């Protein structure tokens, strides 16, 4: 919920207070990242002309009980539009996972298709874990469908809304991850006589190393987990 505070005096304390009042309602937010919800598609840049949602996909907050993708009201109405939203190919069992920018005591997580609730998870007022995932069965549905999810907050009148467009077909699960990029080139080899300052990157024995502070004559790989040379991974 947003409250506006007018500042009679520009004291540091007043600035601090307004800073945190303005930012605190924006903290306890979230949305579905996988399969990508409409706000995630916008934030990814896969859909153009989404408006302000790209700055805060986590803020689709509205009073409980709406069946609209933006939760009702005028904010982020783009999410309700019948655009050609990209779909994610899935099977009958879908794992929905959420980005939470802060956690908040939760009553239920609900999933709907076409007005029918297909899944509900009751957290009974508890704080969600840092990572929230739900396995939901699509109940035999196929083809192009839109799932509406609602994260119902326990101690306010509000909920967070996320619509997810799916293409339900043959095979199971979410699409496979993208192929891995090749290892980076090794770059400058480490020299025992050279002086390196914090941030410097060198290669040694097929791996890249970054100096955490000034060093000379210390072999990468011998300085331990918290020593001066931090392993940046394989190269070549």
Binding site for another protein (CB under 8 A): 10-13, 15-16, 18-20, 22-30, 33-36, 40, 43-45, 54-58, 88, 97-104, 127, 129-131, 133, 174-178, 180-181, 183-184, 197-200, 210, 212-214, 226, 228, 230, 232-233
State the minimum distance, in angstroms, from the CB of residue 81 to another protein.
20
- φ, ψ of residue 126 to 5 degrees: the values are -75, 165
State the minimum distance, in angstroms, from the CB of residue 51 to another protein.
14
> Buried b vs exposed e over 22-44: b needs ≥16 C-beta within 10 Å?
eeeeeebbbbbbbbbbbbbbbbe
* Polymer length in residues for the chain: 236
- Contact (Cβ atoms closer than 8 angstroms) between residue 53 and residue 42: yes
Query: Which residue's structure tokens are 């076409």?
Result: 114
State the minimum distance, in angstroms, from the CB of residue 233 to another protein.
6
- Contact (Cβ atoms closer than 8 angstroms) between residue 99 and residue 33: yes
State the minimum distance, in angstroms, from the CB of residue 61 to another protein.
12
State the minimum distance, in angstroms, from the CB of residue 189 to another protein.
18
Choose between 116 and 179: whose C-beta lies nearer to another protein: 179
User: How distant is the alpha carbon of residue 205 from its chain centre?
Assistant: 36
CB-based contacts of 183: which residues, under 8 Å, 6+ apart? 233, 234, 235, 236
Strands 201-204 and 207-211 turn out to be antiparallel
Choose between 130 and 192: whose C-beta lies nearer to another protein: 130
Per DSSP, 133 falls in state E
């Amino acid at each position: 919920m947003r409250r506006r505070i007018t500042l009679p005096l520009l004291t540091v304390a007043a600035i601090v207070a307004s800073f945190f009042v303005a930012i605190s309602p924006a903290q306890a937010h979230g949305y579905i990242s996988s399969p990508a919800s409409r706000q995630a598609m916008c934030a990814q840049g896969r859909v153009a002309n989404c408006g302000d949602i790209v700055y805060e996909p986590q803020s689709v907050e509205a009073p409980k009980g709406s069946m609209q993708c933006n939760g009702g009201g005028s904010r982020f109405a783009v999410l309700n539009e019948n655009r050609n939203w990209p779909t994610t190919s899935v099977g009958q069992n879908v794992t929905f996972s959420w980005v939470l920018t802060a956690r908040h005591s939760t009553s239920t997580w609900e999933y709907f298709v076409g007005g029918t609730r297909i899944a509900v998870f009751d957290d009974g007022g508890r704080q969600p874990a840092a990572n929230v995932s739900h396995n939901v069965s699509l109940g035999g549905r196929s083809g192009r469908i839109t799932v509406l999810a609602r994260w119902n907050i326990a101690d306010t009148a509000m909920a967070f809304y996320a619509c997810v467009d799916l293409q339900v077909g043959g095979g199971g699960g979410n699409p496979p991850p993208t192929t891995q990029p090749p290892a980076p080139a090794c770059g400058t080899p480490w020299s025992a006589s050279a002086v390196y300052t914090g941030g410097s990157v060198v290669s040694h024995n097929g791996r890249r190393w970054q100096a955490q502070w000034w060093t000379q004559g210390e072999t990468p790989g011998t300085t331990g987990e918290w020593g001066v040379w931090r392993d940046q991974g394989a190269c070549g």
